[in-house]
Structure 1
Amino acid sequence: MALAKTQVWLTAAALVLCVPFNLTAQTVQGTVVDATSNVPVGTGFVVLLNEHGVEVARALTSSEGQFDVAAPNSGVYHLRSERIGYGAFVSDPFELQSDTILSLELKVTALPVRLDAVEVAGEDRCHVNPERALATGLVWEEIRKALAATAWSGTQELYRYRKYSYTRDLSANRRRVTRETGRTREGVTAQPYMSLPASQLAAGGYIIQRGNENWYYVPDARVLLDDAFLSTHCFHVVRDSVEHPGRVGLAFEPTPDRAVT
């Protein structure tokens, strides 16, 4: 999907840190505000793009729209504001000097994404890489933002969790549990749920037999964002007016040339 580069303004002021140490990092910090009301916007991503439009870093804003993102080196950059349910905006280019903090006010125009206008076409069953089709691309972009936030948070924060592990004996037809034993554990972890790497799942499948056991692997946020997953699955838009009225989703299934494992 094309990124809109209009209706974005930057107010910048460079602050050189005067400390007795040799700094090796350069940082962009500031606030994302609504261009009309000048009120800080809600939580979302601020993505740092190099002069070629390639992402080099990102940060999740606070509820007051504040952000702090470190650049790998000096150079010319853009900022892209991403919020779920709103179109992405890209700033004008700015230059970031070595060992400096650049303070920016990123003003964006809130243009909601109209998912209610997405049509469900029965014949559009398979789009390998959802970005390549208009309807799936529109829905995927919003889902991608949520997945990216989940994957990013797993590298930045710790979560307290409670886990219940169990062993079940099933009847001969595997429809009835004849015995179950289990235990509960609590702890702290960065990623309470983690799958195998996407490349490994793409090569070996999602159901792996080990001895007389079958191991089932479900894709996590990182897998769903990986090219190895996107290139081996079909995507199409779905609606359920009975169970989920007013909502639109994105379904996926293996491409026809892949065995279901």
Structure 2
Amino acid sequence: MARSVTVGVDGSPESLSAVEWAAGEAVVRRQALRVLHVWSAAPSPHASPHTADSRRDWGRSVLREAVRRAEARFPGLDVAAEQQPGSAAEVLLGAAREADLLVLGSRGLGAVAGFLVGSVALSVVAAAPCPVALVRADSPVPDGSDPRDVVLGVDLGHGTDALFAYAFEAARARDCGLTVVHAYPVPAPYGIAPGESLAATTPDLFAERYERLLDALRPWQGKNPDIDVRPVAEPGHAAPVVLDAARGASLCVIGRRIRAHGPGPHLGAVDHGVMHHAACPVVVVPHA
């Protein structure tokens, strides 16, 4: 199967808006769109014999509406619709193994509060082998003409290749700039005078971190000389720094470490902070 942008749809307004966003993403990435609906075939103790058929039929109508929206917004887009029974998280994770990007709708809590991320979305983001996008109902649909930057939050202490590759590709597809943000902690002994910035109190630390960021970016800028890149090194906790940089962005890209050991997939505090409070779509990229 050719790799594609896959979007999960459950009939909610958020998921139907996510379909339109995913369709736009498929167009700018020059890929096909796969629309997937998962229905539960397991009967409840009080369900009638016709309940499963009703759920399946309702799901088919959801798929038809999703495909109609995608094709109306982007005529000529290659769209495939599929319905599968089972657990939503398990089916979506299976679909993620065949996708370049998995898109999920998420309820918006307002321009300041950001997302309400449900348990299914959280479990999928934590374990998906491909990047996962969380999209609010009010997110503008990508069409390749949005001048707003893609913002990438990066931790230089871990692998960055997958993050840089995704972020540069996203900026190229949108024909926009790329802001790369690296947040770093400030040692406790440093004092801050009233009105003074953290960076001003630690010039040597700032210079070291900024140079590390430039070093990490250099080979990617060499391969993408036409993309306008703005490196930003800021002292402080990563989530607030990334969220501040992502205000007004077209997309925010963050990473999720793939754990080789331990109790299993999980999301860190930075992932949770950015996912729940970003006002723009967020893509979580798994990386080493």
Q: TM-score scaled by structure 1? A: 0.25
The structure with the largest strand share of the pair is: 1
Which protein has the larger Cα radius of gyration, Structure 1 or Structure 2?
1
TM-score, normalised via structure 2 length: 0.23
Higher helix share: 2
Larger RCO: 1 or 2 (CA < 8 Å, sep 6+)? 2
